[in-house]
Amino acid sequence: MSFLTLDHLSHHYFSKKNYTKALDDISFSVKDGEFVALLGPSGCGKSTILSIIAGIIEHTAGEVYVGEQPLRKSELDIGYMLQQDYLFPWKSIIDNVLIGPKIGRDQSSETKKRAVDLLEQVGLANITDSYPDSLSGGMRQRVALVRTLITNPKILLLDEPFSALDYQTKLKLEDLVWDLLQKYNKTSVLVTHDIGEAIAMSDRIILMDANPGSIAKTFEVPLELRNEKPFSARRHPKYQILFDKVWEALNQNEAGSQQTKVVDSSNDT
Q: Should residue 48 be labelled a site residue for ligand ATP when binding is judged by CB under 6 A?
A: yes
Question: Quick one: which of 5, 10, 47, 187 contacts Mg ion (CB under 5 A)?
Answer: 47
Angle at the Cα of 166 (from 191 to 217), degrees rounded to 5?
Answer: 25
Residues in 202-221 that interact with Mg ion by CB under 5 A: none
Judged by beta carbon, residue 46 or residue 186, the one nearer ligand ATP is: 46
- Interface stretch with ligand ATP, choices 43-51, 68-76, 110-118, 135-143 (CB under 6 A): 43-51
Contact status: 51 vs Mg ion (CB under 5 A): no
* Sheet bearing 78-82, strands edge to edge: 78-82, 155-159, 187-192, 35-39, 204-209, 214-220
Residue selected from 20, 29, 74, 169 as contacting ligand ATP according to rule CB under 6 A = 20
46 part of the interface to ligand ATP, by CB under 6 A: yes
Q: Is 147 helix (H, G, I), strand (E, B) or coil?
A: helix
The reply on whether position 250 binds ligand ATP by CB under 6 A is: no
**Dist CA 121 CA 146 (whole Å):** 9
Which is nearer to ligand ATP, 49 or 93 (by Cβ)? 49
Q: Which does 13 bind (CB under 5 to 8 A by kind): Mg ion, ligand ATP, none?
A: ligand ATP
SS3 191: strand
Distances from the Cα of 70 to the Cα of 6, 31, 34, 162, angstroms: 10, 16, 20, 31
Query: What count of other Cβ atoms lies within 10 Å of the Cβ of residue 171?
Result: 18
Give CA–CA dist 203/205, Å, rounded.
7
Contact letters for ligand ATP, residues 191-220 (x by CB under 6 A): ----------------------x-------
User: Which of 13/231 has CB closer to ligand ATP?
Assistant: 13
Shortest distance, CB of residue 41 to ligand ATP, whole angstroms? 7
Query: Total binding residues for ligand ATP by CB under 6 A?
Result: 11
Alpha helices for 85-233 (secondary structure H)? 93-97, 99-103, 109-121, 137-149, 167-183, 195-201, 223-226, 230-233
Write down the least CB distance from residue 42 to ligand ATP, Å: 3
Q: Which residues are registered as beta bridge partners of 215?
A: 208
Is residue 137 classed as helix, strand or coil in its secondary structure? helix
Give min distance, CB of 104 to ligand ATP, in A: 28
Among the listed residues 5, 24, 26, 45, the single contact to ligand ATP using CB under 6 A: 45
CB neighbours of residue 189 within 10 Å: 23
* Residues making contact with Mg ion (CB under 5 A): 47
* Residues making contact with ligand ATP (CB under 6 A): 13, 20, 22, 42-48, 213
